[in-house]
Amino acid sequence: MAPSFDNESSLFNFVVRDGNGVKGIVDSGISKVPRAYIQPPSEQIDKKNATKCEIAPIDLSRLDGPHHDEVVNQIVRAAETLGFFQVVNHGVPVELLESLKRTVHDFFALPPERKAVYRKEVSPSPLVKYGTSFVPEKERALEWKDYISMAYTNDAEALQQWPIECRDVALQYLKTSHEMVKKLIEALVGNLGVELDDSKIDSFIGKKMVNMNFYPSCPNPELTVGVGRHSDISTLTILLQDGIGGLYVKVPEDTDAENKGEWVEIPPIPGALVINIGDMFQVLSNGRYKSAEHRVRTTSTKSRVSVPILLSPEATQKIAPLPQAVEKDGVVRYREFVFSDYMNSFFGNAHDGKKSLEFAKFDSA
């Protein structure tokens, strides 16, 4: 029997410690959102006031021909302004993307005990973590999301340790996206004046993780968030979103856009992937590329799914602005740090916009 969801302690145990997740609450037949999930009014997402981002997706097939420079400019411009863009003809088969979405629904439809074995405290593999919200222990209001996170080391360990229900399709997604990722990194880093080889690319994206996010349908979506305001810790994030929508990005204040400071929705485009700049790319580019502050709205109609690939430096990697970027700017905007220290800071706090980047500023050392 489900506990009283008005009692925050018993709700926390049911959702987090017992591994039932938000899906367990929804499956119990609730008619209203439990108090622990109600966000402060300042964090609630007003769907009516948001505009849709009307920027056309970038056709990556045009990189391999006479339009190469034009496409690179489109990628760079997007990274310098919104920090978010969509790509088509990216080389990842559309049938695979559809299979991924079905797999997420199937995985989260499993009985709670099948998913709960991967909770951080008990997971049989250090590569796999099942959880809910972001940092539930530190949040004033919980986020309406369950997830499974799969870290990649090599193919053999992925096939051996990732959940059998989703390992094959998740691994295929990661591997078929590699060529696209390489082209994006080459375009963005090349624009900073850096010559690249494979080992240099690996220093930016040596740590790879595939997440499967599940946002159950919500009786009061206007009171909750699927994910709160944040920027990604990664260098680059590749995101598959389904057709439901609800991904919002904040137009940075320090751009020349007319709608700076406003939230815009990234509308789903069939067959497209969403690319967003992460905190590490903002640091490496000395602030030229903007890690995008974004959040996710819940919906009352259907459960929403998304599948991000987070591409980051290895934990032991030292991170600092690239000398070529500093030379162009004439000023160093971020200090050097070890990526694992940034990770500890990032995952030790609740989501709070782009506050995570303060760790990289000189006065935080």
DSSP assignments along 142-193, one per residue: --S-EEEEEEES-HHHHHHHS-TTTHHHHHHHHHHTHHHHHHHHHHHHHTTT
What is the tens place of the pLDDT at every residue in 268-279? 999 999 999 999
Report the DSSP beta bridge partners of residue 207: 312
Instruction: Please report the pLDDT score of residue 78 as a whole number.
Output: 95
User: Is residue 82 helix, strand or coil?
Assistant: coil
Please determine, for residue 354, whether its predicted confidence score (pLDDT) is greater than 80.
no
β-bridge partners, 148: 130, 212
Is residue 321 within 8 A of residue 332, CB to CB? The reply is yes
Q: Residue 117's pLDDT is what?
A: 95
Averaged over 77-83, what is the pLDDT? Answer: 94
pLDDT higher than threshold 60 for residue 364: no
Among 343, 344, 346, 365, smallest CA distance to 355 is for 346
Task: Name the amino acid, one letter, at 326.
Answer: V
Q: Tell me the two tokens of residue 209.
A: 């993780």
Considering the chain, what is the average pLDDT of its residues? 90
Amino acid at 243: G
Instruction: Give mean pLDDT, residues 130-145.
Output: 83
Percent of the chain with pLDDT over 70: 96
CA distance 61 to 57: 12
Q: Check if the beta carbon of residue 364 is closer than 8 Å to that of residue 336.
A: no
Q: Say if CB 274 and CB 86 are below 8 A apart.
A: yes
Specify the pLDDT at position 291: 94
Rounded CA separation 211/130 (Å): 10
Dist. CA 128–CA 8, nearest whole Å: 27
Q: What is the DSSP string of 279-331?
A: HHHHHHTTTSSPPPPEEE---SSS-EEEEEEEEE--TT-EE---HHHHHHHTS
Q: What pTM, to 2 d.p., does this model score?
A: 0.93
Q: DSSP states of 206-256 as a string?
A: -EEEEEEEEE---S-GGG--SEEEE--SSSEEEEEE-SS--EEEEPPTTS-
| Choice among 24-38, 56-70, 345-359 with the minimum mean pLDDT | 345-359
- Specify the 3-state DSSP secondary structure of 74: helix
Nearest to 34 by CA among 182, 219, 161, 187: 219
The CA angle 201-308-314, to the nearest 5 degrees, is 35
Whole-angstrom distance, CA of residue 338 vs CA of residue 111: 40
Structure tokens at 60: 């990556």
Q: Which has the higher per-residue pLDDT, 179 or 346?
A: 179
In this prediction, residue 2 carries a pLDDT of: 53
Dump pLDDT digits (tens) for 209-239: 999 999 999 999 999 999 888 899 999 999 9
Q: What is the pLDDT of residue 365?
A: 47
The answer to whether the CB of 213 falls within 8 A of the CB of 295 is: no
